[in-house]
Amino acid sequence: MAKITIGEVNPERVLLEAGTYNAVVSKATDGLIESGKNAGRDKIDIVFHVDGRTHIKETLHLTESMGWKINQLCSAFRLGQAGDEIEFSGKVLLGQSVSVTVIQKQIDKLDGTKMTINQITRYEKPAVDVDDMPF
């Protein structure tokens, strides 16, 4: 029988209305894609603290097909310009501020029921400086 340690319930799981919000990268972990055609390639698991009210998790696969998203993030985080070679890792992203466009999306749960989640669809330079954010 497995032993586990029970953690605190996260009270910050708030479903946001669709819209644009300020966010900060609160966690960014480098890893490798474990399965599929890109197995063994780099990825970054990112947690955005959005609007001081909730967290939205994203996994960014560092593959050519995700270039559009990587370019959007680099521009939004002011990490460089087109043509620049930069180090792109979780360490670089941690603490960065960004403006995100959030939608609500329904997903199927393993038990067959549906669940509404928030999903980030766009990244832009933040409207305010991270020091002015309320969280």
Q: Could you tell me if residue 76 is inside a domain?
A: yes
Question: Which pLDDT score, from 0 to 100, does residue 131 have?
Answer: 53
Q: What share of the chain in percent tops pLDDT 90?
A: 70
Q: In what order do the strands lie in the sheet with 54-61?
A: 54-61, 42-50, 19-32, 97-108, 114-124
Question: Which pLDDT score, from 0 to 100, does residue 128 have?
Answer: 61
Asked if the model's pLDDT at residue 129 lies above 90, the reply is no
Question: Which pLDDT score, from 0 to 100, does residue 134 have?
Answer: 52
Average pLDDT along the chain: 88
Structural domains of the chain, count: 1
Q: Could you tell me if residue 12 is inside a domain?
A: no
Asked if the model's pLDDT at residue 82 lies above 90, the reply is no
Q: Could you tell me if residue 4 is inside a domain?
A: no
- Domain holding 67, by residue range, is 19-127
